[in-house]
Amino acid sequence: MIKVLFVCHGNICRSPMAEYIMKDLVKKEGLSDIIYVESAATSTEELGNPVYPPARDELKAHGISCKGHAARQVRRTDYDRFDYIIAMEDIHYRIMRDRFFDGKADKISLCMDYSSRPGTQIADPWYTGDFVTAYNQILEGCSGLLETIKKEHSL
């Protein structure tokens, strides 16, 4: 099983959007039994909360359900448990590397690193209100990530 973890600040907007977009892409490719996807937060602010309503609505507009999601925080054990750990912004990358993973970072990358715009930060739609742009960027990153996984694992 290939395991992917998406991470943002609160696990109620970007990382769950990425989780459910990726799950949808994986399902459409018939790879659900090979690729496992989850999401988490770097903070404790939203633990247990569902996907933020505007993010949920944006997913729903694309026929993607996020029912049953409950925000959780990244754990130290996630580094060994997941093959790909995908951050939405540099700050999440640094927090995971420094606070959760004791300086280890070879499994961590940015979502947009799998797009034609590597290094691009996905702005937090909680603050910008722009869930459409966040969705489109995340879809672009997830699509590229899925192609990378398929290539790296000969799927």
Exactly one of 13, 14, 24, 78 is catalytic; name it: 14
78 is catalytic: no
Helices (H), 49-95: 53-61, 78-81, 90-95
| Beta partners for residue 108, in sequence order | 85
Exactly one of 72, 83, 94, 124 is catalytic; name it: 124
Extract the runs of DSSP E, i.e. beta strands, from the chain. 2-8, 35-41, 84-87, 108-110
Query: In sequence order, what are the residues at sequence separation of 6 or more whose Cβ sits closer than 8 angstroms to the Cβ of residue 21?
Result: 59, 62, 64, 135, 138, 139, 142
Determine how many CB atoms are found less than 10 A away from the CB of residue 7.
29
72 is catalytic: no
8 is catalytic: yes
| Beta partners for residue 87, in sequence order | 7, 110
Phi, psi of 101 (to 5 degrees): -115, 20
Q: Which residues participate in catalysis according to the annotation?
A: 8, 14, 124
